Amino acid sequence: MSLEQFKNRNVGIHTYKTLDVGTPPNTGMEKFTQVVTRAVKGELFVGLWVVMREMINTLVKGDVHTVKYPFEKMPISPRYRAIHDMLRLLESGNYRCIGCGLCEKICISNCISMDTRYDEEQRKEVSEYTINFGRCIFCGYCAEVCPELAIVHGPRYENASEQRAGYSLFEDMLTPIDKLNLQQEYDGFGAVSPNADENITQTPLAY
Amino acid sequence: METTLAQHIVTDLPQVTALGIIIKAIIILAVISAIAGFGTYIERKVLAFMQRRLGPMHVGPFGLLQIAADGIKLFTKEDIIPQNANKFIFMIAPIITAATAFIALSSVPVFPDFTIPEFIPLLGGVFVPSIASDLNIGILFVLGMMAAGLYGPLLAGMSQANKWGIIGAARTAVQFLSYEVVTGLSILAPIMLVGSLSFVDFNNYQQEGVLSWMIWQQPVAFVLFLIAGFAETNRTPFDLLEHEAEVVSGYATEYSGMRWGMFFIGEYANMITISIIASIVFLGGYDSASMFGWLTIMLKIAFFFFLMLWVRAAWPHVRPDQLMWLCWKVLMPLALVNILITAIVMMV
Amino acid sequence: MSEVQTVDNMISITIDGTEFKAKEGEFILNAARANDVFIPAICYLTRCSPTLACRICLVEADGKQVYACNAKVKEGMAITVDTPNILEERRAIMEVYDVNHPLQCGVCDKSGECELQNYTLELGVDSQSYMIPDGKRETTDWSSVLHYDSGLCIVCERCTTVCKDMIGDAAITTVKRGGAELDKGYKETMPKDAYSMWNKLQKSIIAPSNGTNFTNCSDCGECIAVCPVGALASVDFVYTSNAWDLKRVPAVAAHSSDGAQIYYEVKPTSIEDRTEKIYRITNEWSYVSLDGSARFAYDFQNTTATKDEEAFKNAINAFKKADTIRFNSMITNEEAFMLQTLKEKMGIKLYNPEVKAFQTFLHHYEAASGNSLWTTDTDAIMKKSDFVISIGAALRNDSPAMKYAFNNVQKLNKGAGFYFHPVGDTLIPTFGKNVQVFNHKVGLEEAALYLVLDLFADKDKLSSEVKDYIESFKNTETKTIKEKKIVTVREMVLNEESGEEEEVSKKVTEMVDKEISVTSNGLVSLLGGDASKFDDVFAKMMKKKEHFSMMLGEDLYYHDKAENIAKLVALVEATCNIDVVMTPPKSNALGVALLCELDDAQSGYTIGYNENGDFRLSALGTGDIDIPAMNQQEGTLTSIAKRVLPTNAAVEYNGYELNDFMKELVDAPALTIDWTVMLPTDKGFKSLEFDTLPNSFSNDGKDNRGYRLETCHVEAQLPEVAECDQSAVLEGEIAYRCNPARQFNDFTDKSHEIFETFSLYASVEKAESLGDKVEVVFENGSITLDVVADAKILGDIVKVPDFKSAQGVYDLFAGSRYQTVTLRKV
């Protein structure tokens, strides 16, 4: 699915069609006439035919719309904002998260928190990271603000829990290291915009 | 031939009328209850197919045991009686609905008289009349019983100390009483033609093939009766008594468990009753002469039952005021005119 | 006296068409800042000398481009902040700063409060025109608290400037780093200032000035505070929190008597533990400088406190049977006043060895001078004074604010200074060329004051006895000195070109003997100075000096002749043009001195409030019942600047506080801060609610925090002073009660970023002779201590710290700061 159609936010009244419903009957005679006309015109039978046709389709062609949900799942749009995933760098397997804390800051329901520290390699390391899914409203700001595309909304949308506040820790969201090859690059919410290259002014490098 | 007491009873069964009637009553009760339950399954399935869904699928093959599951649920569910309800009336109201529905069924014939074949042990050779009790005022009795069924929802709604219930009860009174008139008037014309109130006479009146069916002589009466029947059984498009979008659950708001279930057994039993009446009065009933008379009437009944589901899938329901308008300003005058014309034709 | 800003010397200037008032002789940048006008500037620090490193404060003044940080305002000057040319320069400079500056703002500790980020945004730098290869730049730890990431450093030199001009340690400096040479083509193409700034930036980096990889400084961390980027951070803070996550709690530094403004910056400890923890201390570094204890001694809170009802009952019983409450100056005004209330209502004695001597000294001073308190403060000294005299204060250890003021006067006001102290110090003479250090013998502080009288007093005002006494030290002798004399000599020289002899006159210097009469000052030699050279040195020091100040330290309060010293101080004030400031010994000593009537000694059943006692109330969590530490309570503290300053609770406290006992014992309001309004107005306090006290600085650096104590002056007769008692001079092995620079009390010791140990501090040579461990034997006891060599100490006097109250050092010294002791090797 391309993102272009989602980026068009020019939804206005020009896309609506006005329906001519005529004038409602006023006098008793008019009402009576309306009833008779409608009864005789067979509109009622059109309705009956439509549902009968659907029933025949269902039974004969097996044209059923029901998704047997727990056994059968529909593919989900990349823009859908489900439970977060923390991604790794594909080459090294290191965390993409650099612990900048922007997600923590931008989170409007204040449900992200992280602990960082100075590690042995003189780098900033995320020692603990958690999202309180009891509070998270899945607005997607964290994914949008993340400069490293480290936190994204993944496809896992089944998040019913026995408790109101479900916490998720870093390890729960992180791509398992042995499944690194299955890690999907994310083209949905918060992804690099299609015209990102045009927006960047080049920085001269001396080497 | 050794005669035991059992054999004696069995051979003399038709003669022992009271016992035969009791057995038939039990059979009717059991079968109709089962059909009513099965009707809910059929209804859900048919509605699902008409909306391109699957309907119940998980309990048993194709969801067939869903009825059992629902039954277990209804029987085991807590029977809640609201604090401020009139307890006695609240408790008996569903029984009135169910009872009247079944009592009505006692005087409708469902299939031709027959003799149980000889090869069946014990019961072989027993003559079985088509009807539990062939009253000479059959139609009047059935319509009367169905009218009495009005007390179920009415008392239920009034006793439960709930405004939705009150509204539901009010609607019950208005709707049932009004349409009682149309039912009676619409069926009066056929009665005039047949000259009897017995269903058996109606059946026999239409035994010369399809063309002899009452529907050809009385199409207007048929349509009126059907419409009134929908209203009497509280079916879409006239399901105003407990329309969820308007009055939560109407007279059934406070009911739970099997008490609630009894309203629905009653409703489905009524649906079957109406289907049977329509089949016998307008569509020729069973063919007493034919081997498959019972099958034809079964098909006719099934068609009317299906029609009710079909209509529910296709049509929206009407407003209460439209309902009344339709009854008193359209249907009742039409029924009167129909009687008048029938009478004139008969006199001429 | 301290109000520098007067209407007289105000001139008017115009900035971008709006007229403003400015002080004459002020830098344009400071004038603009005082008037809330924004001129971009990175490298300039308000109270330090301009470094001209960043050059973005370029403005146009009367048509000429000048740097706002070092051009002074003139009457009627018209200043334009932005001209197209200047904007071009500024943008180029910001682009240059962004060249090779790492773009990992995400991991930088400074992100969100970074001036490089701010100015890059402010000046709209969205593309880069310059480039240069970058070399590897290392991250190092300069000390146990200073972490330097040279990759992030923009060499604005704020750290070196503040260290030199304010702190006085001059522990860091710019060094060559051998970066790549700039492309010569840039010289023509890029703006001039940006090019020269870049040229310098490319060549230099910051490093410890002692040539090693580690600084040898007081670890005050002021360099961290002023760093505009993330290059300098505290070792413990690195990568632990983003600036915006921290909640600022305005407070007062609790340990020294400076009353420095600080913010406790708190946020939850971790994901598991949501109780708030102090992550760091920040300050308004433009207006206040912190010492190491204020910046790093912050996690001394009482964490384990609970409402232990059993202990509470015991405490109430203890109060009911108590004879004495022993406490120290780590207490708010409110709680000190509560203790005084207990004294008044229950007759409990109050004993405070830290404050008693100070209080007595203040009473003597008030009686002699008529001033209820001293007349100036350290801020005023920095703003105005050009000559400072320090007597009886171990500047480096006792009062950071006085040390900074002493240093700042030398650096910024082209000042001079006298430093009278028995313990030699290597750092003080480095503050300035005109600093004269007198390492006098212990007990000669009176002589120092007589010397001040001699040098500065209006002799007409002095009584004849004093005049005669001073004159008695002068002795005139005749000396023969050699003097240079220029003599013109004529001689005949053969001109080689013409072959003729010519007479040529030549000027030749000859040394001629001359007899002169020299007056040598006996006071100078008594104080350990070189009397023969003193007159010349003093004459040089006095050049262009107008404002004189004197700082008095704790030694004087504990002096045997404290009363006479107080009179001498009063006499100095009355007869010389000298303002005086005294340092209260520790945190809230002044508040305690004003609020409590202290008794001379403890007796009977004693309650120890953060001190030893039969029943101990302790904020350290080690006593019989818990009380809140200073970062867990609201209240006011009284500072050296005579201000009553509000401080707030940074971390939670779950136990009982003194007010809870007060409620049981006597009538008390609901909250501790309800006492603020009740503080006695006859002692100078104001009847103000705690919540109405302001807590901010004005843009021109004016301190608006809390309120200034009302002081009064009554005319007093010139005090009768006694002669200098030279018999009190101590000889032999001497111990000096003095803490290492960042230690003040048990609470600084508890803080994990303070590493100075409870040991005997001695000069390097002395430490060598003493070995690793010594027993210090006093008259009334002894204490065994490890020996630590402090390269900044000179001489034989050893320093014994007192910051652990449990060690009872005050009792060992028995009401004095110096004691003759026996040092035994262990």
Q: What is the CATH number of the domain that holds C430?
A: 3.40.228.10
What radius of gyration, in Å, describes the C-alpha atoms of chain B? 21
- CA proximity to C340, closest of C801, C575, C683: C683
Residue C306 lies in a domain: no
Query: If you average pLDDT over each of A84-93, A158-167, C513-522, which comes out highest?
Result: A84-93
The boundaries of the domain holding residue A172 are 84-178
The span from the CA of B56 to the CA of C634, in Å, is 68
The span from the CA of C376 to the CA of C551, in Å, is 9
B100-130 pLDDT, tens digit per residue, is 988 888 888 776 777 767 777 766 666 666 6
The span from the CA of C277 to the CA of C269, in Å, is 5
Strands C773-778 and C781-789: antiparallel
- Look at the alpha carbons of C753, C754, C757, C762 in this order and tell me if their dihedral is positive or negative: positive
CB contact under 8 A, A55 and B53: no
Residue C185 lies in a domain: no
C478 or C319: whose pLDDT is higher? Answer: C319
Among the three residues C558, C582, C606, which one is the final residue of a domain in this structure? Answer: C582
Tell me the pLDDT band of B9, cut-offs 50, 70 and 90. Answer: low
pLDDT of residue B126: 67
Identity of residue A34? Q
C217-241 pLDDT, tens digit per residue, is 999 999 999 999 999 999 999 999 9
pLDDT of residue C563: 92
pLDDT of residue C2: 35
- Please state the domain count of chain A: 2
How is chain B split into domains, by residue range? 80-347
Residue A38 lies in a domain: yes
CB contact under 8 A, C242 and A101: yes
Q: Is B325 on the interface with A (CB under 8 A)?
A: yes
CB contact under 8 A, C134 and A125: no
pLDDT of residue B149: 87
C551-586 pLDDT, tens digit per residue, is 999 999 999 899 999 999 999 999 999 999 999 998
Do C762 and C787 touch, CB atoms closer than 8 A? Answer: yes
The boundaries of the domain holding residue C761 are 729-825
Token pair 């992550």: residue: C279
Quick one: A92 and A125 in the same domain? Answer: yes
Give the gap in angstroms from C-alpha C232 to the nearest C-alpha of chain A.
Answer: 14
C576 phi/psi in degrees, rounded to 5: -110, 165
Max Cα-Cα span within chain B: 70
Do C92 and C191 touch, CB atoms closer than 8 A? Answer: yes
Alpha helices by DSSP H, C457-588? 464-471, 522-526, 531-541, 554-557, 562-575
Query: Angle CA(B145)–CA(B147)–CA(B149) in degrees, nearest 5?
Result: 75
Give the gap in angstroms from C-alpha A156 to the nearest C-alpha of chain B.
Answer: 25
Among the three residues C582, C607, C632, which one is the final residue of a domain in this structure? Answer: C582
% of chain C with per-residue pLDDT over 90 = 68
Residue C774 lies in a domain: yes
CB contact under 8 A, C239 and A116: yes
Give the orientation angle of helix B257-282 with respect to helix B87-105, to 10 degrees.
Answer: 30
Taking contacts as CB-CB distances below 8 angstroms, the residues of chain C near A122 are 139
pLDDT of residue B123: 64
Select from A110, A113, A132, A172 the residue whose CB has the most chain C CBs within 10 Å, as the one to mutate to test that interface: A113
The span from the CA of C29 to the CA of C16, in Å, is 14
Residue C382 lies in a domain: yes
Give the gap in angstroms from C-alpha C94 to the nearest C-alpha of chain A.
Answer: 14
The span from the CA of C713 to the CA of C719, in Å, is 15
The span from the CA of B31 to the CA of B150, in Å, is 23
Given a cut of 50, whether residue C723 has pLDDT beyond it is yes
SS (H, E, C) A166-178: CEEEHHHHECCHH
% of chain A with per-residue pLDDT over 90 = 14
The span from the CA of C689 to the CA of B184, in Å, is 90
Give the gap in angstroms from C-alpha A170 to the nearest C-alpha of chain C.
Answer: 11
Alpha helices by DSSP H, C457-551? 464-471, 522-526, 531-541
Query: If you average pLDDT over each of A83-97, C323-337, C513-527, which comes out highest?
Result: C323-337
Do C394 and C738 touch, CB atoms closer than 8 A? Answer: yes
- In sequence order, the β-bridge partners of residue C27 are C72
Tell me the pLDDT band of C64, cut-offs 50, 70 and 90. Answer: very high
Given a cut of 60, whether residue A6 has pLDDT beyond it is no
Token pair 């823009």: residue: A79
Search chain A and give the residue with CA nearest B50: A55
% of chain B with per-residue pLDDT over 70 = 87
Determine which of A62-76, C330-344, C648-662, C729-743 has the lowest per-residue pLDDT on average. A62-76
**pTM beyond 0.90:** no
Q: Mean pLDDT for chain C?
A: 90
Token pair 């027959």: residue: B114
* Mean pLDDT of all residues in C14-37: 92
Given a cut of 90, whether residue C80 has pLDDT beyond it is yes
**DSSP string of B2-65, one letter each residue:** ---HHHHHHHTTTTSHHHHHHHHHHHHHHHHHHHHHHHHHHHHHHHHHHTT---S-SSSGGGTT
* Mean pLDDT of all residues in A90-108: 89
Quick one: A51 and A110 in the same domain? Answer: no
CB-based contacts of C257: which residues, under 8 Å, 6+ apart? C329, C399, C401, C583, C584, C585, C586, C587, C588, C589, C590, C639, C640
pLDDT of residue C688: 93
pLDDT of residue A8: 60
Taking contacts as CB-CB distances below 8 angstroms, the residues of chain A near B50 are 51-52, 54-55, 58
Given a cut of 60, whether residue C88 has pLDDT beyond it is yes
CB contact under 8 A, C239 and A100: no
pLDDT of residue C737: 93
B238-294 pLDDT, tens digit per residue, is 888 777 778 888 888 889 888 888 888 888 888 888 998 898 888 888 876 667 777
Given a cut of 70, whether residue B8 has pLDDT beyond it is no
Nearest to B330 among A35, A48, A58 (CB): A35
pLDDT of residue A1: 46
Given a cut of 50, whether residue C3 has pLDDT beyond it is no
Give the gap in angstroms from C-alpha C41 to the nearest C-alpha of chain A.
Answer: 25
Residue A4 lies in a domain: no
User: Residue A57 carries which DSSP code?
Assistant: I
Do B252 and B263 touch, CB atoms closer than 8 A? Answer: yes
The span from the CA of C387 to the CA of C550, in Å, is 8
The span from the CA of C124 to the CA of C118, in Å, is 10
Alpha helices by DSSP H, chain B? 5-11, 17-50, 66-76, 87-105, 138-148, 151-159, 163-194, 199-205, 214-217, 219-232, 244-247, 257-282, 293-314, 320-325, 332-347
pLDDT of residue C504: 74
Q: Mean pLDDT for chain A?
A: 82
* DSSP-derived 3-state class of residue C653: coil
Residue A188 lies in a domain: no
Q: Is B46 on the interface with A (CB under 8 A)?
A: yes
Determine which of B176-185, C175-184, C308-317, C488-497 has the lowest per-residue pLDDT on average. C488-497
pLDDT of residue A37: 84
Given a cut of 70, whether residue C798 has pLDDT beyond it is yes
Tell me the pLDDT band of C182, cut-offs 50, 70 and 90. Answer: confident
Taking contacts as CB-CB distances below 8 angstroms, the residues of chain B near A51 are 50-51, 310, 313-314
Per-residue CA distances from B68 to B30, B58, B74, B272, C695 (Å)? 15, 12, 10, 21, 76
Given a cut of 70, whether residue C498 has pLDDT beyond it is no
| C199 burial type by CB count under 10 A (0-12 exposed, 13-18 middle, 19+ buried) | middle
Residue count of chain A, please give it.
207
CATH number at residue C789: 2.40.40.20
Give the gap in angstroms from C-alpha C271 to the nearest C-alpha of chain A.
Answer: 7
Among the three residues C582, C597, C616, which one is the final residue of a domain in this structure? Answer: C582
| C134 burial type by CB count under 10 A (0-12 exposed, 13-18 middle, 19+ buried) | middle
The span from the CA of B83 to the CA of B243, in Å, is 24
Taking contacts as CB-CB distances below 8 angstroms, the residues of chain C near A130 are 271
Q: How many CB pairs under 8 A join A and B?
A: 46
pLDDT of residue B18: 67
Quick one: A157 and A93 in the same domain? Answer: yes
C735-783 pLDDT, tens digit per residue, is 999 999 899 999 999 999 999 999 999 999 999 999 999 999 999 899 9
* DSSP-derived 3-state class of residue C438: strand
Neighbours of chain B (3+ CB pairs under 8 A): A
CB contact under 8 A, C106 and A118: no
Query: Angle CA(C199)–CA(C200)–CA(C201) in degrees, nearest 5?
Result: 95
Quick one: A99 and A158 in the same domain? Answer: yes
* Mean pLDDT of all residues in B84-90: 90
Do C374 and C640 touch, CB atoms closer than 8 A? Answer: no
Between the two ends of chain C, the Cα-to-Cα distance in Å is: 53
Given a cut of 80, whether residue B13 has pLDDT beyond it is no
CATH number at residue C30: 3.10.20.740
A115-153 pLDDT, tens digit per residue, is 999 988 888 989 999 998 888 898 989 988 988 888 988
Residue C326 lies in a domain: no
pLDDT of residue B243: 76
pLDDT of residue B4: 60
C226-240 burial code (b ≥16 CB/10 A, e <16): bbbbbbbbbbbbbbb
pLDDT of residue A7: 61
Token pair 């009707």: residue: B39
Residues of A with a Cβ under 8 Å from any B Cβ are 28, 31-32, 35, 44, 47-48, 50-52, 54-55, 57-59, 63-66, 68
Residue A152 lies in a domain: yes
* Mean pLDDT of all residues in C59-84: 93
Do B51 and B44 touch, CB atoms closer than 8 A? Answer: no
pLDDT of residue C497: 67
Residue A109: HSE in the Cβ half-sphere, 13 Å Cα cutoff: 14
Tell me the pLDDT band of C1, cut-offs 50, 70 and 90. Answer: very low
Residue C366 lies in a domain: yes
Quick one: A53 and A128 in the same domain? Answer: no
- Please state the domain count of chain C: 3
Q: ipTM more than 0.85?
A: no
Tell me the pLDDT band of A14, cut-offs 50, 70 and 90. Answer: low
Per-residue CA distances from C395 to C283, C741, C743 (Å)? 22, 9, 14
Residue C795 lies in a domain: yes
Residue count of chain B, please give it.
348
* Mean pLDDT of all residues in C516-532: 84
Residue A186 lies in a domain: no
Q: A40's torsion region: left (phi>0), alpha (psi -120 to 50) or beta?
A: alpha
CB contact under 8 A, A54 and B330: no
The span from the CA of C450 to the CA of C523, in Å, is 8
- Token pair belonging to C2: 């301290």
Chains B/A: 3 or more C-beta pairs closer than 8 A? yes
* Mean pLDDT of all residues in C80-101: 92
The span from the CA of A152 to the CA of C290, in Å, is 44
* Mean pLDDT of all residues in C110-116: 92
The span from the CA of B207 to the CA of C379, in Å, is 122
Quick one: A88 and A150 in the same domain? Answer: yes
